[in-house]
Amino acid sequence: MIVENQTLKIHHKDNIIVALKDILTGSLIEVEGEIVEVKEFIQIKHKFSQRDININDTLIQYGIPVGLATCFIPKGSAITTYNVRHISQE
């Protein structure tokens, strides 16, 4: 079952998505016609990846770079302080 109206992609260039509600592991989310299977529980207002993100790839939110991946982040996984270094920390 595809879940709708639970996420927000702020800008078309973004590769991270904001949860507008708690999203359960295994949920299928449609983002711009693409299906993303959520790999872990995502709390409301937290973010997850729209696609696979490799180490040192740039994370985009609001259409601008906001961080760098510190490890591989699979599509549908939570974006956390453990797997992202914010650009402002450089």
CATH number, domain containing residue 82: 2.30.130.110
* Strand duo 28-31 + 2-3: pairing: parallel
pLDDT tens-digit map of 27-84? 999 988 889 999 999 999 999 999 999 999 999 999 999 999 999 999 999 999 999 9
pLDDT at 74: 98
Total domain count for the chain?
1
78 vs 81: CA distance, rounded Å = 10
Residue 90 has pLDDT above 60, yes or no: no
pTM for the full predicted model? 0.89
Range of the domain at 39: 2-89
Q: Which amino acid is at 43?
A: Q
8 vs 29: CA distance, rounded Å = 11
